[in-house]
Amino acid sequence: MTLAEARQAWAEWKKIRDRSLDPRIEKKKTIEAEAEKIQAAYSVDDVVEDWIYLHVTKLAGVRESVCRALAVGLDCPVIER
């Protein structure tokens, strides 16, 4: 961070403090708002796909059984990502 960037960041935090607001609360509100946007866009299909990709594929010999269960054949697009 350069001196100019540090001064700008300090000025922004000073504005927040001058408005009698706690910078930690402001940061927490920003993080919560971003999390709500992400959660709204994350569907059940995404959860299932991520679970299959991140967990099920690591189990031994599971590729064929997962694809059979999903009835998509051995060229399973969910697993091959």
12 Cβ contact list (under 8 Å, min separation 6):
none
Same domain, 53 and 25: no
Domain that holds residue 9: 3-41
Hey, which of 17-21, 24-28, 33-37, 74-78 has the most confident mean pLDDT? 33-37
Domain count of the fold of the chain: 2
Residue 74's pLDDT band (cuts 50, 70, 90): very low
Same domain, 30 and 48: no
Alpha-carbon distance of 81 to 79, in angstroms, equals 6
Q: How many residues does the chain have?
A: 81
Same domain, 49 and 28: no
Same domain, 75 and 52: yes
